[in-house]
Amino acid sequence: MNGKSASKKVRATKVRATLAAATLAAGGLAGLGTAGTAHAIQPTLSLTYTCTMPLIGAQQMTVAITADAPASVARNTPSPTFPVSTVATVNATTTSALRLIGARTLTGTASASATVQAPQGNIPLTVPNTLRNTAIPESGAFPVTANGTAPSMTFTQAGTGTIRVGNLSLTLTPKTASGGNTGLGTFTVPCTQNSGQNNVLDTFTIT
């Protein structure tokens, strides 16, 4: 075999290997694509809760929820996880109480309950969220942003799925200007969704 023939064979082998790798990659991407198809517009929802705070009791809090949920998922295939972001508006009364105990920043976590209604039955869901470290203003209401990830689920029957948001549980740690704990330390705040609201965050198709 001369040098030119050997060189051609090497090039042909490389081309075949490249095509094979590209085919496998395309197949993998296609498989990921069938796990869930995105919404054209992210689902959003605003809800009002009654939250029981230490010292000041029941307070109203509005929570805006945005979820990058899939518009459709395939049966018998784990759905993709998706990010959920919330912005809670803390009212002026709560702000005054936090400032009174020396709090200047607020951090913590939130646990949001939800129910996924599907042809196979209702699936309870809990989405943990982490609050951004937020400065507490001198007065007035202020927003607190939190981010979390909804877990993967597997659906066994085709049809329509609905995500309904439920109650919240907040674990909060207010901090002083120097970063120390206040007299309240870390505390839990149960938040009950006010009745009569549309709590459907999203509907999706199970194929």
Please report, for the chain, the start and end positions of each structural domain, with discontinuous segments joined by +. Answer: 1-38, 40-206
Q: How would you classify the pairing of strands 200-206 and 70-73?
A: parallel
Instruction: List, in sequence order, the alpha helices (H) in the chain.
Output: 3-35, 92-100
Is residue 82 within 8 Å of 38, Cβ to Cβ?
A: no
Q: What is the pLDDT of residues 12-24, one digit of tens each?
A: 433 333 333 333 3
Instruction: List, in sequence order, the alpha helices (H) in 36-163.
Output: 92-100
Q: What is the DSSP letter of 16?
A: H
Could you tell me the fold of the domain covering 40-206? Immunoglobulin-like (2.60.40)
Separation in Å, CA 95 to CA 21, 47, 48, 146, 174: 58, 20, 17, 18, 11
pLDDT for residue 145 is more than 70: yes
pTM of the model: 0.78
Q: What is the pLDDT of residues 148-182, one digit of tens each?
A: 999 999 999 999 999 999 999 999 999 999 999 99
Q: What is the DSSP letter of 199?
A: -
